[in-house]
Amino acid sequence: MDVQKIRKDFPILQREVNGQPLVYFDNAATSQTPVQVINTIVDYYKKYNANIHRGVHSLSQEATDAYEAARKKIQKHFNAAQSHEIIFTSGTTHSINIVSNGYAELLKKGDQLIVSALEHHSNIVPWQMLCEKTGAELKVIPMNEDGVLIMEAFEKLLSDKTKLVFVNHVSNALGTVNPIKEIIDKAHAVGAQVLIDGAQSAPHIQADVQALDADYYVTSAHKLCGPTGVGMLYGKQSALKRLPPYQGGGEMIAEVTFEKTTYADLPHKFEAGTPNIAGGIAFGAALDYINNIGMDQIAAYEEELLNYATDLLKKIPGLKIYGIAPQKTAVVSFNVEGIHPYDIGSILDKLGIAVRTGHHCAQPIMDYYQIPGTVRASFSFYNTFEEIDSMVEALKKAIQMLQ
Amino acid sequence: MGTINEVQEEIVEEFSLFDDWMQRYEYMIELGKSLPLIDKQFKTDDNIIKGCQSKVWVHADLEEDKLVFTADSDAIITKGIIAILIRVFSHQHPDAILEADTSFIDKIGLKEHLSPTRANGLVSMIKQLKMYAIAFKTQLN
């Protein structure tokens, strides 16, 4: 893997911030976009912008073909059995809401849902709303000091009342890789379905939805070098058929009369309205880009970055890393004793280093550690060891100013 | 005690002595250390300003017809920012606070903190101080 060559594909990496060369370490929030993906979007609007699935004219046909080809790329990448099991959405949050809204009709009072302590708010709040609507109960798999889920506790939570379990593959705040295969198997053993939030894992770990036997797997394109505003919901055909539609509108119907409307087949049942066509096509292009480099190469290189950064950061006096699971993606969440993460983030920004500070939309994790938030540096395959050196130098400067 | 405009000009002048952002930030942190601290009994969740990534507590008292502010923050850059605002707004009449223009923030090189999306919530802080002015104004009338 030639990082210098890869970096040339990302125009944004050439820019400066506050007079300093940009060091972009907020990849867990959104990844940057290579020129190949940008060109796909430009090409679409320049050459074949048209509404899909309905027009008989050539442009509409070309746009439909490109959009459906992207669906097939996504299917192939995540190894779904059939392309109609891939639903285009506006992103992970939308995907989760499709499932949680559908479940409102499938649950009854006394049913139980299980969530993990490591979730992003987007994989907590929709389910809390669902519980309020249905009278179902929400149970939480606790985590330990290392940021690892306590599996014995999970087993105790499972019962014939459990209807759905939803966990992320990777924690956005800590980078912990969760044992999702084990979670899926144990949940299935009591007859529950499982939704995997792959927003943080999809850029780093190849997920095979059939091998995992996941009922639902959701992710966003913008974490994977694609554009914002597009994502996907994978659902097993049997699960999606059982799930009532979420939004009504055009595209999702088979027949409409004022007496009764029948819904279209998958995937259209969940794709009401004109979708983000350019975004969907670009999602496919982003997967092409990543697969061209190779998921295994990406994962191996990012692990080197993570280990390098972890070793350097550990040497800084008073610095504590949160989340030290044996299996992690390239995320380091940390604080320096006596300094607010916000102060560190502000100074790093002045020095051209983009990191995230705050609770990372995962307040329950911050509550567990009793901290207001952390500084989070998250790396991608286009980052370099030199950039990590720059961050560590900048961090030392910040600490000097702030202590 | 000068008018709001006079205090602002004084602060602009102090900041003009520094050529780079680092010195300005260091000075701001220094100013945070002289912030009139909020009494412990007022350091409650009710007095936290919403919209800041760090916590900022503000309390106001009326001394004759002037407002006197005290505050604190758990982040030191934020503490510097609230210290600057309080230096400008404290010991002023509610009317003067409500009419005050705060564009001096731009002049002291802290423009990036003015964006409403910025997580530190400078905008929320100014709004909250002005809210106190509205509340106490009704008491004075």
* Per-residue confidence in pLDDT tens, chain B, 141 aa: 789 999 999 999 999 999 888 899 999 999 999 999 999 999 999 998 876 778 899 999 999 999 999 999 999 988 999 999 999 999 999 999 999 988 888 888 776 665 555 555 788 888 899 999 999 988 877
- For the domain A3-27+295-402, what is the CATH superfamily, name and number? Aspartate Aminotransferase, domain 1 (3.90.1150.10)
Give residue for tokens 């939030």: A197
State what percent of residues in chain A have pLDDT above 90: 87
Catalytic residue among B11, B31, B49, B52: B52
Q: How confident is the model at residue A298 (pLDDT cuts 50, 70, 90)?
A: very high
State the smallest CA–CA distance between residue B29 and chain A in angstroms: 8
Position A239 pLDDT exceeds 70: yes
- Which residues on B lie below 8 Å from A402 (Cβ)? 29, 76
Q: Taking CB atoms and an 8 Å limit, are A346 and B120 in contact across chains?
A: yes
Q: How confident is the model at residue A233 (pLDDT cuts 50, 70, 90)?
A: very high
A63 and A52 Cβ atoms separated by less than 8 Å: yes
SS3 of residue B106 by DSSP: helix
Residue in B22, B74, B120 closest to A372 by CB: B74
More confidently predicted of A83 and A262: A83
Residue from A26, A340, A356, A360 to probe the interface with B (highest B Cβ count within 10 Å): A340
| pLDDT score, position B113 | 65
Distance in angstroms (rounded) separating the CA atoms of residues A190 and A203: 31
SS3 of residue B66 by DSSP: strand
Domain segments of chain A as ranges: 3-27+295-402, 38-292
Give residue for tokens 């900041």: B15
pLDDT in tens, A359-400: 888 888 998 999 989 999 999 999 999 999 999 999 999 999
> What ipTM does the predicted assembly reach?
0.87
B87 and B4 Cβ atoms separated by less than 8 Å: no
Biggest alpha carbon–alpha carbon distance for chain B: 46
| pLDDT score, position A103 | 93
| pLDDT score, position A54 | 79
CB pairs under 8 A between A and B: 40
pLDDT in tens, A155-205: 999 999 999 999 999 999 999 999 999 999 999 999 999 999 999 999 999
- Is cis: bond before A267, omega within 30 of 0? yes
| pLDDT score, position A88 | 98
Helix ranges (H only) for B41-121 are 76-89, 94-99, 104-107
| pLDDT score, position B19 | 84
Exposure of A365 by Cβ count < 10 A (0-12 exposed, 13-18 middle, 19+ buried)?
buried
**DSSP annotation of B55:** -
Exposure of B33 by Cβ count < 10 A (0-12 exposed, 13-18 middle, 19+ buried)?
exposed
Domains of chain B: 4-140 (3.90.1010.10)
Position A252 pLDDT exceeds 90: no
Give residue for tokens 């106001």: B60
Q: What is the CATH number of domain A38-292?
A: 3.40.640.10
Minimum CA–CA partner of B113 in chain A: A346
